[in-house]
Structure formats: structure tokens, C-alpha cells
Amino acid sequence: MDYRFMKGLGFAAVCAGIFFSCQSSPRSAFPTAQTIARSSAARGTDLAMLAQGRKIFTTSCTECHVARPIAGYSVTQWRHNVSVMAPRARLKPGDRAALEAYLVAARESLPQS
């Protein structure tokens, strides 16, 4: 085999290893409603509403762009993002409320860093 080919293949393997090892799982990046409900962050929030909000976040929001990690924004920033994006996504008021409830509870359930 050609030395340059083998060297390039090795480089590609290292890059792939780094890329895939840095990815977080969808469960940790986008906590499930059950995970959030077990935390005090979901106080007074219905489990079905959290599940609906997560579904909207992982489906509707990703139709146009990559879903951002929950930890990437503060609660205030998430509320602002929802207020800007909900009309663009043509979310019904109930869906918008579920999305915001999910994002806020998910963000508040994360360990403070």
C-alpha cells in the first residue's frame, strides 16, 4: 500500500475518534421529561407538558437548524429565543408554553457550573 494513503487514513481515523468522542448523547444534551420531573426544577409542571415540549424542541426546532444544547443558554436567553422563534415556527400557544416549560425546567435541572 501507498505510504501517503496509509498516513491519510490514520489521520482520518484520529479525527473521527476525536469528533465522535466529543459528542454528547441526546439524553444528556436534551434531558427527558422523566429526568427533569425527578428534579425540583419541574415543580408544578405536568410530565405530559414536559414531554410535549421536548418533542417540539427535538423535532420542530431542528427542521431549520441544529438544536442547541440546553446548557448553552440561560433561562432568560431560552425565554427570549422562544419568543423570537415561536412565531416563525408557527407554534400554537399551547405548544409554545410546553416548549418554554421544557427548556426552562431542563436548564434549571442542570448542575450549576
pLDDT in tens, 3-42: 555 455 555 444 444 444 334 444 456 777 777 777 665 6
The dihedral region occupied by 90, where left means phi > 0, alpha psi between -120 and 50, and beta the remainder, is left
> In this structure, which long-range contacts are made by residues 44-50, counting pairs with CB atoms below 8 Å and at least 24 apart in sequence?
45/101, 45/105, 49/97, 49/98, 49/101, 49/102, 50/98, 50/101, 50/102, 50/105
| 108 compared with 52, residue with greater pLDDT | 52
The SS3 assignment for 7 reads: helix
Q: What is the mean pLDDT of residues 40-66?
A: 85
CB 61 within 8 A of CB 85: yes
Q: Where are the domains of the chain?
A: 25-109
Q: What is the mean pLDDT of residues 44-66?
A: 89
Q: What is the CA radius of gyration of the chain?
A: 18
For the chain, first and last CA: distance in Å? 50
Residue 108: pLDDT above 90?
A: no
Average pLDDT, the chain: 77
Q: What is the pLDDT of residue 98?
A: 95
